[in-house]
Amino acid sequence: MILSDIAAVPLSEIASLPRSVWMAVAAVLGLVFGSFITALSYRVPRGQSIAHGRSQCPACGTTLTARDLIPVFSWLIARGRCRVCQTAISIRYPLIELLTAAVFMSAVWREPRLLPLLLLLATAVLMMTLAITDLEHRRLPFPLLVPLAVLGTVYGVLIQPQLLAAAVTAASVVLAGLSVAALSRRFLGRPLIGAGDVYVLAIGALMLPWLAFVIFMGLAGLLALIFGLAWRRWNPDALFPFGPSVFAALWVTMVFQAPLTGFVS
């Protein structure tokens, strides 16, 4: 069986279930992976292994047990506090879990084929982790960008026939973006765009057909403007992280690609 045949296998061949049931399954998986994303976004920027060591309360160091790790419900039952030291636990944890559930559901709504769906879900995990890391640390770690680029390339191979044109577009984006970053650093004292952001734009070129990529670029700029104005209002002295706007634009374009391209064309 060749790759295209594997990619065409629908979810209905795995189990003959209504789409609503598949979306419910996706929501549960999203909650679980949302918990994983919170751990990943905490450990990777700090150079900690994601494979070793159990989760702990960052305040008192208590090792978390199964009852502390139930997505959303553990936070609600504990009223947002550590059960040992009573230190407040950020609401970011249940919010990330709920957002991941919504993202996973949108992926199932968008993609009925098994292999592209799995790739979409994997990229969603990486994109959300990178977006959170950029918000909190103002950087996009390469240990997360590299697997995203690999998964994005495989996804692009499955959904679009003109991969060579996509690769040329991606290379052009990297060249132009890094040039802008270098020139702005030289003449303005700081780069207008980070290298990580440039690579994410290039990944978008690999994952999307040409028209959808153009829509993605425009949407990324619009969201950056909106988020940037809000960010400056709340954090006037802090640098604006561009990554979350790019990832949000990329996901929206991928999920709503058909209606967006149909509206534009």
**pLDDT tens figures, 40-94:** 888 888 777 776 667 777 667 667 777 777 888 888 888 778 777 877 878 888 9
Can you tell me the mean pLDDT for 121-136? 94
Is 44 within 8 Å of 144 (Cβ atoms)? yes
Looking up tokens 């790019």, which residue turns up? 246
Query: Taking the model in full, what pTM does it have?
Result: 0.89
- Per-residue pLDDT band for 1 (boundaries 50, 70, 90) equals very low
Per-domain boundaries in the chain: 1-113
User: For the chain, how many residues are written?
Assistant: 265
Report in angstroms the alpha-carbon separations of 125 from 15, 44, 136, 210. Answer: 24, 14, 17, 24
Residues near 30 by beta carbon (within 8 Å), at least 6 away in sequence = 97, 100, 101, 102, 103, 104, 105
